[in-house]
Amino acid sequence: MTLHHVIFLLSLSLSLYYYILQLTWADVAVADLFHPEGLASRCKNFNMKSVAPKLAAHVEKVNGLPKIKKWLEERPQPKK
């Protein structure tokens, strides 16, 4: 699946989630993939807010959910 597919599928949704108003594993997986410290950080010239603003909003919304936000703050940091 490419970035274009992810953006297209999100554009079909009537909300910021892939499935109506309910958070799914797809939402969590996409948010993890495009998290600023995740895979997206390896693309130096990639600015998600300018390339895909709805996707950027999706990632921010999912990563801002209280339990996910807490996990992101407390999780073990990967070795670099």
State residue 45 phi and psi, 5-degree precision.
-100, 15
pLDDT tens column, 5-56: 677 666 666 556 666 667 888 888 888 888 777 766 677 777 777 777 888 8
Q: Which residue's entry shows tokens 């996990």? A: 71
- The pLDDT score that the predictor gives to residue 66 is 93
pTM value is: 0.69
Residue 73: is its pLDDT beyond 80? yes
**Rounded to whole angstroms, how far apart are CA atoms 53 and 62?**
14
**Rounded to whole angstroms, how far apart are CA atoms 77 and 74?**
9
- Beta-carbon contacts of residue 65 (< 8 Å; ≥ 6 apart): 23
- For the record, the structure tokens of 40 come out as 């997206």
